[in-house]
Amino acid sequence: MKQVAIVTGGSRGIGAATARQAAQKGYAVCVNYRSDEKSAEAVVSQIQDAGGTAIAVQADVSQEADVERLFKTTDEQLGTVTALVNNAGILEQQMPVTEMDIARWQRIFATNVFGSFLCARAAIQRMSTFNGGPGGAIVNVSSLAARAGSPFEYVDYAASKGAIDTFTTGLSKEVAEAGIRVNAVRPGFIDTEMHASGGEPNRIERVKANVPLKRGGTAEEVAYAILWLLSDEAGYTTGGFIDIAGGR
Ligand code: NDP
């Protein structure tokens, strides 16, 4: 059966590593991005140069019409999606909760939570064996922050990832009989551009010092786990979580 993967936020970081590894495993890959077209096209070129199949599709996952277009374009150009990686996510500047406004919470939840819901819904409609679909697998990219919290830093972000964990658990039970598995990864500190937005000056060093393995993780190390959860080797794993956090 033809394997088709959609990786949201595939233009950089964990998403780009996941898109590249998926192509190496034989998936035709849709690399979604919101604004960074150049980086998304670079990922597509890397995949094509290595003999794989990939397209880049701009879509803001928080927008219903964009998500419909993302999935329709994939249907037409690659075929029915069999794997979805809900990776697109945002983090804003460190801020005490007393200074946060509701617009910030709406932005964070719009991408991290509502976007994951919209993409999962579109994928399930296509994958469900009840609709004649091929079945499939979904991996949500949560965060260690969902379990550990991020006090005095990003409680909004941690809360959005907590919602993703609960969404993963409930959805996995709802769609199991339709032939769809739903799992999540919880990365700890991963060296990507997500941390480029700053925060307190020595924050990154402080976080790394608290990691038993004494370093940040790589995007590739997260992608390996995602690809395993998507694979048939994980065929009896649903509603599961893998922490990729250096022992934190
Ligand atoms: P990056 O900031 O490096 O990349 C984020 C990606 O998401 C980009 O491709 C960006 O595209 C895309 N994106 C953001 N908003 C949207 C949107 N509304 N619609 C579509 N695409 C969007 O992040 P990371 O690789 O570090 O993080 C990936 C995921 O891993 C996130 O969900 C994050 O919360 C999670 N995570 C990361 C950790 C870390 O330490 N890095 C730790 C734990 C979890 P564009 O540039 O075009 O906007």
Report how far ligand 1's centroid is from the alpha carbon of 26 (Å): 24
pLDDT value at position 200?
A: 66
Task: Please identify, by atom number, the ligand 1 atom nearest to the C-alpha of residue 66.
Answer: 19
Phi-psi domain of 129 (left: phi exceeds 0; alpha: psi -120 through 50; beta: other): alpha
Report how far ligand 1's centroid is from the alpha carbon of 89 (Å): 4
Does ligand 1 lie within 6 Å of residue 133's CB atom? no
Mind telling me the catalytic residues? 157
Alpha-carbon span 114 to 164, nearest angstrom: 10
Average pLDDT over residues 11-27: 98
Alpha-carbon span 213 to 33, nearest angstrom: 32
Helix (H, G, I), strand (E, B) or coil at 202: coil
pLDDT value at position 204?
A: 80
Segments forming the whole domain that contains residue 94? 4-244
Testing ligand 1's pocket by substitution, the residue of 30, 90, 195, 210 carrying the most ligand atoms inside 8 A of its CB is 90
Does ligand 1 lie within 6 Å of residue 87's CB atom? yes
Assess contact for 134 and 181: CB atoms under 8 A. no
**Per-residue pLDDT band at 150 (split at 50, 70, 90):** confident
For residue 33, report the phi and psi dihedrals to the nearest 5 degrees: -150, 165
Report how far ligand 1's centroid is from the alpha carbon of 16 (Å): 10
Average pLDDT over residues 59-70: 98
Nearest to 3 by CA among 31, 30, 26: 26
Q: Note the pLDDT tens digit of each residue in 65-87.
A: 999 999 999 999 999 999 999 99
Alpha-carbon span 120 to 116, nearest angstrom: 6
Report how far ligand 1's centroid is from the alpha carbon of 130 (Å): 32
Does ligand 1 lie within 6 Å of residue 193's CB atom? yes
Average pLDDT over residues 22-33: 98
Does ligand 1 lie within 6 Å of residue 194's CB atom? yes
Q: What is the CATH number of the domain that holds 204?
A: 3.40.50.720
Does ligand 1 lie within 6 Å of residue 36's CB atom? yes
Q: Note the pLDDT tens digit of each residue in 34-57.
A: 999 999 999 999 999 999 999 999
Alpha-carbon span 83 to 18, nearest angstrom: 12
**Per-residue pLDDT band at 226 (split at 50, 70, 90):** very high
Does ligand 1 lie within 6 Å of residue 160's CB atom? no
Alpha-carbon span 56 to 76, nearest angstrom: 13
How many domains does the chain contain in total? 1
Q: Tell me the percentage of the chain whose pLDDT exceeds 90.
A: 90
What mean pLDDT, rounded, does the chain reach?
96
Testing ligand 1's pocket by substitution, the residue of 87, 109, 160, 195 carrying the most ligand atoms inside 8 A of its CB is 87
Nearest to 182 by CA among 220, 142, 147: 142
> Is ipTM > 0.95 here?
yes
Concatenating the DSSP letter of every residue in 203-245 gives HHHHHHHTSTTSS-B-HHHHHHHHHHHHSGGGTT--S-EEEES
Nearest to 63 by CA among 107, 8, 110, 112: 110
pLDDT value at position 88?
A: 98
Two tokens, residue 57: 């599709």
Assess contact for 171 and 120: CB atoms under 8 A. yes
Q: Note the pLDDT tens digit of each residue in 162-220.
A: 999 999 999 999 999 999 999 999 999 999 998 876 566 677 888 888 899 999 999 99
